[in-house]
Structure 1
Amino acid sequence: MPLLPLLLVGLLSYMMYYRYFPVRTKQWNALDVTSRHVVVDVRDYQDSSKGDCEEVIALPCGYIRRYSSDIPEGPVVVMGSNPVECNVGVRQLKRLGFDVAGYLLIGADKKCNEYLSLG
């Protein structure tokens, strides 16, 4: 019987690590992002669809694995509304083999076309 509590504690520890332990990726400023970077917006569709950014790929964390083939090659910058969202997005993309250069924090109420100028 002591195996079950140990298994539950191990599972809970992994879940906490996956969500909250910071990834080894640099937080970027919006001015650091250029047109050669692939920006993946991992916010919810309701938040990411507020601004029309043709250069940004809107792909919430729950859909990254399914639609990872839509992400072009190149250094990826993850854009999220909070550190937890960025952590999960960066971990998923790195696990799928993408070169994640960094992440951006943008408010949920902000439009990406007002925040980024990738022209």
Structure 2
Amino acid sequence: MILFLLLILFILWELYKRYFPVAGIHCEDILKINFTDVEVIDVRDYNISYKDVIEKSINIPVAYLERYCYEIPDKKVHVVALNRLEKNVAIRILRRKGFQVTGYTVSDSQKFIEELAVK
């Protein structure tokens, strides 16, 4: 019975880490970011991010983020992700590594695609 309860708690914890939004982090417009104060981290996969390149950003896919977080300068961080799941996982990893995440942008939205086309 206790093993079953621990298994349920483990599953609930994993679901929480992936699907529940991170408190205190808000969606921001990528064009309104001051690139001198904030480092933009693109956590989309390489085969997606090369199509919509974000100038002055560091591309580290979320799967490699724990291994290569030392490449990120010690500044405030803005996360660009493909979807909300990537965003949640990346923000939690970056916070655990000691980075101050100021905001995020989800790139699967039509608004994001139109903004990059205007650039």
Q: What band does the TM-score fall into relative to the shorter chain?
A: 0.7 to 0.9
Number of residue pairs the alignment of both structures matches: 115
Aligned pairs for 1:1-119 (under 5 A) are 2-24=1-23, 25-36=25-36, 37-107=38-108, 114=116
Shift >6 Å, 4+ stretches: 108-111
TM-score, normalization by structure 2: 0.85
Q: Which amino acid aligns with 2:27?
A: Q
- The unaligned stretches of length 5 or more in structure 2 are none
* 8 Å CA contact 1:43, 1:108 repeated in 2: no
Q: Report the RMSD for the aligned CA atoms in angstroms.
A: 2.3
Name the SS of the counterpart of 1:66 in structure 2.
helix
CA distance in 2, matches of 1:23, 1:54: 26
Contact 1:30–1:115 at 8 Å: present in 2 too?
no
Amino acid at match of 2:30: A
Amino acid corresponding to residue 13 of structure 1 in structure 2: L
Alpha-carbon separation, structure 2, partners of 1:115 and 1:17: 35
Residue aligned with 1:107, SS: coil
Name the structure with the higher helix share: 2
Question: Per-residue displacement from partner, 1:78-105 (whole Å, max 9, x unpaired)?
Answer: 0011111111110000000001001011
1:114 deviates by 2.4
Q: TM-score, normalised by structure 1?
A: 0.85
